[in-house]
Amino acid sequence: MVDSVLDKITQKIVDDPRSGQSLLLFALLATLNVEKGGHLYMLAKLKEFTPENRQLAYDVIELMANNETGNDDWLQAYSKMEAAIRG
């Protein structure tokens, strides 16, 4: 079974919610979660991702471009990530 990008990011965040990479990924998703905010995310932050996590970030941006944010899968994954980050 191939995990979705949301599954991969959720697992990374749950495994290590205090790492810089987890926080960068969560910040991107939090930004994309607020559509009326214009999806404001400083693109220079992409330089701070590892190459693997940068690809995940691109994949999440693709979800946003395809209007796949805010659906049930997105909201469930986001809730798990948020719970892990908040501890």
77 found inside a domain: yes
3-state secondary structure of 86: helix
Structural domain contains residue 51: yes
- What's the domain range around 20? 5-82
Q: Tell me the pLDDT tens digit for each residue of 21-44.
A: 999 999 999 888 876 666 667 788
How far the first Cα of the chain sits from its last, in Å, is 29
58-82 pLDDT tens trace: 999 999 899 898 899 999 999 999 9
Q: 16 lies in a domain?
A: yes
Q: For the chain, what is the domain count?
A: 1
40 in any annotated domain: yes
Domain assignment present for 87? no
Q: Read off the tokens for 65.
A: 């471009």
User: Could you read off the pLDDT of 45-63 as tens digits, one per residue?
Assistant: 889 999 999 999 999 999 9
Residues 8-24 pLDDT 10s: 999 999 999 999 999 99
**27 within some domain:** yes
pLDDT confidence of residue 55: 96
